[in-house]
Amino acid sequence: MCMPSERSKKPFKACIKCKFLVNHEEQRCPNCGSDTFSDEWSGVIIILDPAKSEIAKMLGIGRPGRYALRIR
């Protein structure tokens, strides 16, 4: 489990499994149920309308929300 450190200024942590961005207080990913998160992510995609978004289709995202593009 990762805790937000003093150095980390990112408001979210990313689920390692599905890249969904969640608040630091969350224990489980609301998207996939995984409990492994990372603070080392970059790039964000906010999906508003997955049915019409070409990028959501390209990335295989079917649920609206915030996702990281790259996780280290």
Residues forming the site for other proteins (CB under 8 A): 10-11, 40, 42-49, 52-56, 58, 66, 69-70, 72
The C-alpha atoms of residue 40 and residue 13 are separated, in whole angstroms, by 8
- The residue among 33 and 34 lying less far from other proteins, judged by its C-beta, is 34
- The residue among 34 and 42 lying less far from other proteins, judged by its C-beta, is 42
Closest by Cα among 4, 23, 3 to 14: 23
Closest approach, Cβ 44 to other proteins, in A, equals 4
